[in-house]
């Protein structure tokens, strides 16, 4: 779905369509991370889990930091960059698709309503909401801000990568 959404972004220009396509991509990315992290949790021993997740986070954020530089490979509005992004999305599925390891065991967890969660951890919920708002503003508008400040495409890439790598530190 993420690949299809990215390919459609290369064909359909306009804020309303892109808004909807970005929502689709967001859900796909959340699903991808959830599946990958479930496999890690199920397949890694307690002794190696922290180290495994550390490698995973560094490699993920490293890829996110390199990603903005791909826009410098061609015209940002031309279809080849959208196609390349779709190809990269598909390549992300290869490790899971080619593994011989069995699927993680899925256990049914008790559903927790939002009201119950707020009662259990009001500060945790507030922190998650605040972090989500800040992250969405920075990731959604950071490149726009850098562009409006007059940075070149390479400068925008560097600006955005610095934000991502700053989060890694």
Number of domains in the chain: 2
Among 70, 91, 107, give the residue marking a domain's end.
107
Residue that is last in its domain, among 107, 126, 151: 107
131 and 160 assigned to the same domain: yes
Mean pLDDT of 65-78: 88
| Among the ranges given (21-35, 87-101, 125-139), the one the predictor scored with the smallest mean pLDDT | 87-101
**pLDDT given for residue 77 in this prediction:** 84
pLDDT at 36: 84
Q: What is the pLDDT at residue 130?
A: 97
- How confident is the model over 135-156, as a mean pLDDT? 91
What range defines the domain where residue 83 resides? 1-107
Same domain? For 97 and 20 the reply is yes
Same domain, 79 and 27: yes
Model confidence band, residue 98 (pLDDT cutoffs 50, 70, 90): confident
Task: Give yes or no: residues 91 and 120 share one domain.
Answer: no
Rounded CA separation 87/12 (Å): 18
The verdict on 17 and 35 lying in the same domain is: yes
Looking at 56, 84, 107, the residue that finishes a domain is: 107
Instruction: Please tell me whether residues 80 and 121 are part of one structural domain.
Output: no
């Amino acid at each position: 779905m993420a690949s299809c959404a990215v390919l459609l972004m290369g064909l359909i220009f306009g804020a309303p369509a892109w808004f909807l396509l970005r929502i689709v991509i967001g859900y796909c990315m959340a699903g991808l991370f959830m599946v990958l992290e479930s496999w890690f949790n199920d397949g890694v021993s307690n002794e190696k889990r922290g180290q495994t997740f550390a490698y995973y986070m560094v490699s993920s954020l490293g890829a996110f930091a390199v990603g903005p530089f791909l826009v410098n490979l061609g015209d940002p509005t031309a279809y080849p960059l959208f196609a390349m992004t779709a190809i990269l999305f598909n390549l992300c599925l290869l490790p899971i698709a080619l593994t011989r390891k069995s699927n993680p065991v899925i256990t049914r967890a008790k559903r927790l309503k939002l009201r119950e969660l707020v009662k259990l951890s009001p500060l945790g919920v507030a922190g998650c909401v605040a972090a989500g708002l800040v992250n969405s503003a920075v990731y959604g508008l950071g490149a726009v801000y850098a562009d409006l400040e007059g940075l070149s495409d390479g400068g925008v890439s560097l600006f955005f990568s610095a934000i991502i790598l700053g989060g890694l530190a």
